[in-house]
Amino acid sequence: MGNSNVPTLLNTHEAADLLRRAPQTLRCWAMREAGPISPIRTKPGAPLLWRMSDIERFISGEVADGNR
């Protein structure tokens, strides 16, 4: 990836699109604290933010997906 126009933090819908997963899957990973990547939680009730670097590592296979 490495595109400088891509933000370093993504919301759940943006991250889900890149990961080809449903947004609810990412929310479950966050809630259970057991997913292959974890979000940044800024404060209770705030939207989850996902690191682009974590998403890139997941896509490249550096992070295992237990759902495969």
Is 48 a member of any domain?
Answer: yes
Is 68 a member of any domain?
Answer: no
Is 21 a member of any domain?
Answer: yes
pLDDT tens series, the chain, 68 aa: 555 666 799 999 999 999 999 999 999 999 999 999 999 999 998 999 999 999 999 999 988 776 54
Is 1 a member of any domain?
Answer: no
Name the nearest CA neighbour of 28 among 6, 48, 55.
48
- Cα(66)–Cα(36) distance, integer angstroms: 7
Contacting residues for 21 by C-beta, under 8 A, at least 6 apart: none
How many folded domains does the chain comprise? 1
Is 2 a member of any domain?
Answer: no
pTM listed for this prediction: 0.82
Query: Whole domain around residue 15: which residue ranges?
Result: 9-60
CB-CB contact of 26 with 48 (8 Å): yes
